[in-house]
């Protein structure tokens, strides 16, 4: 916190934000000045009187989390970070929205010190905040002990009407109420304006009643330009036994004589003349990008932040003496390190799968692997979007998470998200951002469309999040084309920074899980089958983690000759490729079978390794139950794929109907060789 409330000149503090916002947007000739100017007083109340943070250490584990869900108002958080003492000099504010600056158009975690999450797609910030608050609550229950409270912080979110219009806000906020996240406090910037103008024609929700129905504590009709009133509301919120929404009535572009309260203040620079008039109206006499020293003194949170963290460090030292093993585990967890025995657990899981060589659906293979990993890793926090019995994300080590009437948790580690795919994905991002847990969640692959934007955000933020997508193809059968994934795998592969795995058997699935858990800066999508997959015999497991490997040479089927072609397959189609190899061998045609469970991982390998798997000069035929387009990059001569929607029928009937038979693969290979 900055200066004591009694010593604050709140008007000057707020106007400093307004000045920086309008000057930076004007200089860039791009951006959104209205929200920062309208929320400046709310920011003074929260950041000046309540927020527990240390500008000298943005990663202090027990800091309060602040999320600017309406991320278009990014100059608000940049102004706050600069004024309170973070490593964000004025030169960066002058460089707002410019190439390689620390002040991009929307806040980006990892770019700007003090930014907790990347926001911009509306609704996802508040949903991330729900995930952060959930992580805090579960960590507190797990690690705090009588007389030793080491996890004790709030999650605050600013949001606007755009966030509330997005359906994801309903998904997330309903869950926050069900989970009784009492340390989640959201401040709603109720200004009644969006880009298109007054929101009344299309947004008539009774927001307070909506949130009351979710089980939230609601503080309505707060004057968002009265710092003391907002301060009092935050004080009240802190004592509530459930999440709180503070509804702050504000004027967008507050201070602008001609644009304040209008859509003209929302998404464009005010203009030189209007800025001049605004300065006069506010009584702000400083030049652009100049802040009086007295204002810096009012805002400076470096001393108080250091004192707060030092107090916590002392408390943690006492905790470590009283509970040394717990202290070490807490540090490991929040720093994101895997257990010391992780490598052995991973090897054992893969070897067990290889030894047993079971014929099971890869969704079941995933659960088998999870049994080993969840037993060894208390940080694994799973879940499902109302499909637990189908996606198999639960294990014996992860009982269902439940909360009592007093808000206490039962220590469960499997979350029933309900039918909320998008909310689940964005909440998982928030959990990962908070630290202390590695989240994973499951749904049908077709419904990855609902969660896609949060999956993309995880990739953009480089988060260790695992998406379990099952029922991956026309092998779903009778549920028909609405549920059969065709384009989804290819679409997910297009997301930069996302590793997509489509394993063929239990060993590949175990290794895919191990790679996902080791991947600290990449989310992972596991693509899994509903139908049973036979184990693919293999001489070793070492190369699976490279994304693709030689599964079977012609010698495996009795041919003592070099391969004439390469069949590349993934997931359930690997067994099909092996069957085709056998049939081709009967015709004295020699082919190599390559299993490629992860194209993205394979693409990162050395040229030498890639050439060893896919030799130059041999025709390549890809086989996968999905759109064919993505396979042409591997120089394929042909692709056995599906470029239409599916049909409703038993899976074996569909396989034959769409050409996923060994005989069709054989014919395709022969045509490719004969060219």
Query: Catalytic site residue 421?
Result: yes
Q: How far apart are CA 588 and CA 159, in angstroms?
A: 67
Q: How far apart are CA 552 and CA 567, in angstroms?
A: 10
Buried/exposed code over 209-229 (b: 16+ C-beta within 10 A; e: otherwise): ebbeebbbbbbbebebbbbeb
Contacts of 330 (CB under 8 A, 6+ apart): 139, 143, 150
In this structure, the dihedral spanned by the alpha carbons of residues 342, 345, 351 and 355, taken in order and rounded to 10 degrees, is -170
Q: What is the DSSP letter of 338?
A: P
CB 438 within 8 A of CB 398: no
- Helix and strand numbers (H, E) in the chain are 26, 20
CA dihedral (257, 260, 264, 270) positive or negative: positive
**What is the chain's length?**
675
Catalytic option among 116, 166, 421, 508 = 421
Distances (CA, A) of 164 to 12, 70, 552: 31, 10, 54
SS3 380: strand
E-strand ranges in 228-281 read: 244-249
Degrees (nearest 5) of the Cα angle 658, 659, 664? 175
Q: How far apart are CA 152 and CA 62, in angstroms?
A: 7
Q: Dihedrals φ, ψ of 174, to 5°?
A: -65, -40
- Helix or strand holding residue 581 (H, E): helix 573-586
Structure tokens at 209: 């009643």
Burial status of residue 254 (CB atoms within 10 A of its CB: 0-12, 13-18, 19 or more): buried
CB 60 within 8 A of CB 127: no
Q: How far apart are CA 575 and CA 20, in angstroms?
A: 62
Q: How many CB atoms lie within 10 A of CB 147?
A: 9
* N-terminal to C-terminal alpha carbon distance within the chain: 74
CB 130 within 8 A of CB 184: yes
* Residue 174 CA from chain centroid, whole number: 19
Nearest to 158 by CA among 132, 129, 135, 179: 129
Nearest to 115 by CA among 106, 123, 12: 106
Q: How far apart are CA 660 and CA 419, in angstroms?
A: 32
Contacts of 146 (CB under 8 A, 6+ apart): none
Q: Which residues belong to the active site? A: 421
């Amino acid at each position: 916190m900055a200066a004591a409330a009694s010593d604050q000149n709140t008007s000057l503090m707020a106007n400093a934000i307004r000045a920086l916002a309008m000057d930076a947007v004007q200089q860039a000739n791009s951006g959104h000045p209205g929200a920062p100017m309208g929320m400046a007083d709310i920011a003074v109340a929260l950041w000046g009187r309540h927020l527990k943070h240390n500008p000298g250490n943005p990663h202090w584990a027990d800091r309060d989390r602040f999320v600017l869900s309406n991320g278009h108002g990014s100059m608000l958080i940049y102004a706050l970070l600069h004024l309170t003492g973070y490593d964000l000099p004025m030169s960066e504010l002058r460089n707002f929205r410019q190439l390689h600056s620390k002040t991009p158009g929307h806040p980006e975690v990892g770019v700007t010190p003090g930014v907790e999450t990347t926001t911009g797609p509306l609704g996802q910030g508040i949903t991330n905040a729900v995930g952060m608050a959930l992580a805090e609550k579960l960590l507190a229950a797990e690690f705090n002990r009588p007389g030793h409270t080491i996890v004790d912080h709030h999650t605050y979110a600013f949001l606007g009407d755009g966030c509330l219009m997005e359906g994801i806000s309903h998904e997330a906020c309903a869950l926050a109420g069900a989970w009784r996240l009492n340390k989640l406090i959201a401040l709603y910037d109720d200004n009644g304006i969006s880009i298109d103008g007054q929101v009344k024609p299309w947004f008539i929700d009774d927001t307070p009643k909506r949130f009351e129905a979710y089980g939230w504590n609601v503080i309505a009709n707060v004057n968002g330009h009265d710092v003391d009133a907002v301060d009092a509301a935050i004080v009240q919120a802190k004592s509530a036994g459930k999440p709180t929404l503070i509804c702050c009535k504000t004027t967008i572009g507050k201070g602008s004589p001609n644009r304040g309260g209008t859509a003209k203040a929302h998404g464009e620079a005010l203009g030189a003349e209007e800025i001049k008039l605004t300065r006069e109206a506010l009584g702000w006499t400083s030049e652009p990008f100049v802040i009086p020293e007295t204002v810096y003194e009012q805002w400076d949170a470096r001393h108080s932040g250091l004192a707060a963290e030092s107090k916590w460090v002392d408390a943690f030292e006492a905790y470590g003496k009283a509970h040394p093993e717990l202290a070490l585990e807490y540090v490991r967890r929040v720093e994101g390190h895997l257990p010391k025995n992780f490598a052995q657990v991973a090897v054992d899981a893969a070897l067990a799968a290889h030894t047993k060589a079971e014929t099971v659906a890869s969704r079941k293979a995933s659960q088998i692997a999870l049994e080993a990993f969840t037993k060894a890793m208390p940080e694994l926090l799973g879940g499902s979007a109302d499909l637990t019995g189908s996606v198999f994300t639960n294990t014996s080590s992860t009982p269902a998470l439940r909360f009592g009437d007093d808000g206490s948790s039962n220590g469960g580690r499997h979350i029933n998200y309900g039918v909320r795919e998008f909310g689940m994905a964005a909440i998982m991002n928030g959990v990962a951002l908070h630290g202390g847990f590695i989240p994973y969640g499951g749904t049908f692959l077709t419904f990855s469309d609902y969660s896609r934007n949060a999956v993309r955000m995880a990739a953009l933020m480089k988060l260790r999040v695992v998406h379990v997508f099952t029922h991956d193809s026309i092998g779903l059968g009778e549920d028909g084309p609405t549920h059969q994934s065709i384009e989804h795998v290819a679409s997910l592969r297009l997301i930069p920074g996302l590793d997509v795995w489509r394993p063929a058997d239990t060993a590949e699935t175990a290794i895919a899980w191990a790679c996902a858990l080791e991947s600290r800066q990449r989310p992972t999508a596991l693509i899994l089958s509903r139908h049973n997959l036979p184990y693919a015999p293999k001489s070793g497991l070492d190369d699976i983690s490279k994304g693709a490997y030689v599964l079977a040479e012609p010698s495996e089927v009795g041919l003592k000759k070099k391969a004439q072609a390469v069949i590349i397959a993934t997931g359930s189609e690997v067994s099909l490729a092996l069957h085709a190899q056998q049939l081709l061998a009967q015709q004295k045609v020699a082919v190599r079978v390559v299993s490629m469970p992860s194209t993205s991982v394979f693409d990162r390998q050395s040229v030498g390794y890639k050439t060893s798997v896919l030799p130059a000069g041999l025709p390549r035929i890809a086989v996968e139950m999905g759109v064919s387009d993505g396979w042409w990059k591997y120089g394929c001569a042909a692709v056995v794929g599906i470029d239409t929607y599916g049909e409703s029928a038993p899976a074996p009937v569909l396989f034959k109907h769409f050409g996923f038979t060994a005989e069709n693969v054989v014919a395709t290979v022969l045509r490719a060789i004969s060219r």
